[in-house]
Chains A and B, each alone.
Chain A
């Protein structure tokens, strides 16, 4: 297992270099001189030149990249152009908020998705199955942020069950924090649940007609145990693949969902930065998200191995 982990991590190095270099190039080949931006309005030519030398912006691009990556690896992503404060600190403050939201969405996606997927696989090609499948198709087509707005309009404003917007840390007020997390998690998680249900239905139908399930049934195992323990375990590998893909989807969709619920997570950070053309901040957020997605892929690979020892 240790060796597997190491080999997976090593094979990720090219991906990581490609991703970071891509972001770096994008931002550094952008129109506009970063030294001028850093110097601010009304800076003299000498001041701009001094900043350019100070920040090392007059060096070759590759040297600048290596320098930036080595700082980034140590947790230093530079300073924001607009707020003049540390980018790493800003990310450190907002990332946990986003990760809580993603975790909430994952709970919704897994619970709803697995229940719906198993239910429709057990009743394959019936009306109930068709109803669940259509609901899943709808869930996948509805944009998550609009779903969020509808949830706010119905459950927060009309019924008053949940707060409409805002965010407090789990540490400050756990009860309120959980209540505030419910609607955004549902908004974000429904599309994932639809995808999980769709995929699980297909694999589960296969599993339920397989020989080993027939044997289990023949020896008199209760149907519930057959489905929830054996067939579900047999469906684990494709299920893990879908779940892994949802992490990337949630990290994207959260950008807009955060705006709906007034949550200041990493999505709000990057949209504000993009509006202000705060290149270093955008660069930092994209790199952190890229690392998160890549890390998810490693976890997924390790899970494959845990679930099914035959894999590599």
Chain B
């Protein structure tokens, strides 16, 4: 009996190691085989590094006022100065800190609410599923920012409150994706096997269904990070998110907009930062989806391979014309 147990344990760890190797294999393949993924990953890491290392990247304090407002770029002020003579680069770097924190709060809240709800809804089914998904549908059909504003009216403005509101707005879409995948996963043979061994439902849910269903949610979370950056900027712009004078992309845009007739170019640094961050998260999500979801990605990958000339022997996907 003991030998059987030991043998099974050894086999299991060997299998897990094999799986881990295979996983890191696709990860490396994805990262180095896909230029878009590489560029997007580099940009996101670069932005994160700037945000974390802000005091090392700039010698100016984000709130230190100077004598020369609306200055152009110079050696001392790389991106010029704003309406109070503050260094725009310093505010941008510290703003990235606030905006990325905001994005992670919103997506964190969305995942914390959406994953359990989707898991239970899909696994249990029945009336609970019907009710939860009905509520999600209603929430999803309305303009998200308006619902977020309603929540902010209750919670009060500010970085954490406004992004919690955004997370609440995001959560039905996470729950929907999670539920969809759980519906597929719970029909798998290993779930039947676990059931027949007498595993309690919560254990099946946590040990088997959850880890095998999170992939689409991870892809979706990447897109949501991009949306959350826009949400932070929008809400801060109308004074409901990060509060001036703390820097964030949205606060900087709001300030630049107030003085747009004095310095029209002031809207570019924060705006481009938002656009690039969103594009990077979107590109990351796209290429993650390509790498993880074989159904939608095969055609794309084939095309890319053929363009690179390494797949000349592959069949023509379009077929004869």
Binding site for B on A (CB under 8 A): 14-15, 18-19, 22-23, 26-27, 30-31, 137-138, 141-143, 145-146, 149-150, 152-154, 157-158, 164, 248-249, 251-253, 255-256, 259-260, 270-271, 273-275, 277-279, 282-283, 285-286, 289-290, 293-294, 297
Contact = CB atoms under 8 A, between A and B. Distances in A.
A143 B233 contact: yes
Contacts of A143: 230, 233-234, 271, 274-275, 278
B144 A252 contact: yes
Contacts of A248: 141-143
Nearest to B134: A18
Interface string B117-153: 0000000000000000011001101111111011111
B257 interface: yes
Contact of B142 (A142, A283, A289): A289
Contact of A275 (B147, B157, B237): B157
A259 B152 CA distance: 17
Contacts of A253: 143, 145
Contact of A286 (B146, B234, B257): B146
Interface of B: 134-135, 138-139, 141-147, 149-154, 156-157, 226, 230, 233-234, 237-240, 253, 256-257, 260-261, 264-265, 267-268, 271, 274-275, 278-279, 282
B234 A145 contact: yes
- Residue from B139, B147, B274 with most neighbouring chain A CB atoms (10 Å): B147
A304 to B, nearest CB: 16
B142 A293 contact: yes
Contacts of A294: 141
Contacts of B143: 248-249, 251-253, 255, 289, 293
A153 B260 contact: yes
Nearest to A18: B138
B141 A297 contact: yes
A146 B274 contact: yes
13 contacts: A18-B135, A26-B151, A138-B279, A143-B274, A145-B234, A248-B141, A255-B145, A274-B149, A274-B153, A274-B240, A286-B147, A289-B146, A290-B142
Contacts of A19: 138, 142
A231 B105 CA distance: 46
Give me the 4 closest cross-chain CB pairs, A-B, nearest first: A252-B143, A153-B264, A274-B153, A30-B154
Contact of A251 (B135, B146, B268): B146
Nearest to B276: A141
Nearest to A276: B153
B149 to A, nearest CB: 5
Nearest to A16: B138
Given A143-B234, A259-B237, A158 B264 contact: yes
Nearest to B279: A141
B264 A279 contact: no
Contacts of B268: 150
Contacts of A270: 146, 149
Contacts of B264: 152-154, 157-158
B38 to A, nearest CB: 18
A285 B278 CA distance: 29
Contacts of A297: 141
Contacts of B279: 138, 141
Contact of A259 (B139, B144, B154, B238): B238
Contacts of A137: 282
A23 B150 contact: yes
A279 B146 contact: no
A149 B260 contact: yes
A255 B234 contact: yes
Contacts of B138: 15, 18-19, 22
Given A146-B271, A274-B240, 12 more contacts: A26-B151, A141-B279, A142-B278, A146-B267, A146-B275, A149-B253, A149-B267, A153-B267, A157-B264, A256-B234, A274-B150, A279-B154
B102 to A, nearest CB: 14
A152 B260 contact: yes
Contact of A145 (B151, B237, B282): B237
Nearest to B286: A137
Contacts of B275: 141-143, 146
A19 B140 CA distance: 11
A259 B267 CA distance: 15
B257 A260 contact: yes
A158 B139 CA distance: 42
A146 B256 CA distance: 11
A251 B149 CA distance: 13
B296 to A, nearest CB: 13
Given A18-B135, A249-B143, A256-B237, A149 B257 contact: yes
Contact of B240 (A146, A149, A275): A275
B146 A252 contact: yes
A277 to B, nearest CB: 6
